[in-house]
Amino acid sequence: MAPKKGLMQRLDEGVVIGDGGFVFALEKRGYVKAGPWTPEAVIEHPEAVRQLHREFLRAGSDVMQAFTFYASDDKLANRGNESSKKYTCRGVNDAACRLAREVAEEGDGLMAGGLSQTPTYLSGLGKAKTQKEFQNQVDVFVENKVDFLIAEYFEHIEEMEWAVEVCVKSGLPVVASMCIGPDGDMHGVTAGECGVRMAKAGAHVVGINCHFDPFVTLDGMRKMKTALDEAGLKVHMIAQPLAFHTPDAGKQGFIDLPEFPFGLEPRICTRWDMHRYAREAYDIGIRFIGGCCGFEAYHIRAVAEELEKERGNLPKGSEKHEQWAGGLKMHTKPWVRARAGRDYWENIKPSSGRPYCACMSKPDAWGVTAGHSDLKQKTMRTTDDEIKALQQKKK
């Protein structure tokens, strides 16, 4: 049997499909707490994490990304999160890697370790302390022989550069992906410039994940591509957007929307949105195409089905999904059978069933970012009085 192809070769030769979102999916399934969003489920409920990996693999994901989001020591201990009392960064990252590896080997999947922005940076504690947090994770990834590293969910290009600096030392391929939109990072750096700086810092693949819906994200990617082209930089690109519609999110994305995180349901994308996303992403030239929060297996499958020709195959999960609603031909009701067809679903404008709700929301836009005192983190739980003060501020 030939050795597994690596990330860069796969990107050069074709398309790599990423996985979907873990924190939102596992929050709904009961294994992750919204608020801290830390991934101790890899130790507490490995069967749940393993199952989710399997769903993505079956749906067509080529990458099993270890569930190490926010698994830095400073985050495990932030604002009353008790995970740090039971688990260490090392323990969590190690368990995550082993689960991802196990499922990756059930198919032809690559396995990646991921790191993301830190409370240390947000609190303004400086480069050395911030990079120490990253190094702790990367050490575990290297020990676990991950196929590549992914630095994602960074709001500030500065912190991202620090992360990439740590990652490249490992000698592994490095993917760098910021949670920004077309308006750029939180310090006012444009999306294009962010792309250029990630590439110059040494990332082999650059792009955007989370915070915005597929189409807003692709608007940002178009700007990034233009800047990369103008700078003459040849790197691959990645997009891993939300599966929530966010035409109304401001600069900071869905976190600013009043529906975040417990009222986002009406914004969930359909599989047909993902067909369109996959096609547009491919046409822009993006070759690492996946998803982030809200992206479930069926969204990934839609990406894989849209790119069937480019990839030369369908995912296993398509056994249970005839393309373009073909399965409806087997429905008992004749008017549902009449919906079996591409034209019907490509043009549907789905209703919300919520006539007392508006279509768009005004985002919060506090305008505070790294460096602002409101963003200093701490280990103690926020008190009720502090919450009241914040609510007052909101008004």
Neighbouring C-beta atoms of residue 191, cutoff 10 Å: 25
Q: Which of 141, 148, 272, 295 binds a second copy (CB under 8 A)?
A: 272
**Quick check: 105 binds a second copy (CB under 8 A)?**
no
Instruction: Give the nearer residue to a second copy in terms of CB position, either 12 or 47.
Output: 47
Edge-to-edge, what's the strand order for the sheet holding 288-289? Answer: 16-17, 288-289, 236-240, 205-209, 174-178, 148-154, 110-115, 63-65
CB of 187 vs a second copy, minimal distance in Å: 16
Neighbours of 360 (CB within 10 A): 11
Contact yes or no for 88/122 (Cβ under 8 A): no
The smaller minimum CB distance to a second copy, of residues 5 and 45, is found at: 45
Counting contacts by CB under 8 A, is residue 348 touching a second copy?
yes
257 binds a second copy per the rule CB under 8 A: yes
For residue 14, give the 3-state DSSP assignment: coil
Among 18, 22, 246, 295, binds a second copy (CB under 8 A): 246
Per CB under 8 A, the segment of 8-16, 133-141, 188-196, 325-333 that binds a second copy is 325-333
Answer whether 96's CB lies under 8 Å from 52's CB: no
Between 283 and 351, name the residue whose CB sits nearer to a second copy. Answer: 351
**Which of 11, 16, 59, 224 is in the footprint of a second copy by CB under 8 A?**
59
362 part of the interface to a second copy, by CB under 8 A: yes
Question: Measured between alpha carbons, how far is residue 304 from residues 21, 113, 153, 276 in Å?
Answer: 16, 23, 24, 12
Q: To 5 degrees, how large is the angle CA 25–CA 29–CA 34?
A: 65
Binding string, residues 111-140; x marks residues near a second copy by CB under 8 A: --------x--x------------------
The least CB distance from residue 334 to a second copy, in Å, is: 5
Separation CA 32–CA 14 (nearest Å): 34
Whole-angstrom distance, CA of residue 297 vs CA of residue 53: 9
Options 52-60, 128-136, 138-146, 172-180: segment touching a second copy (CB under 8 A): 52-60
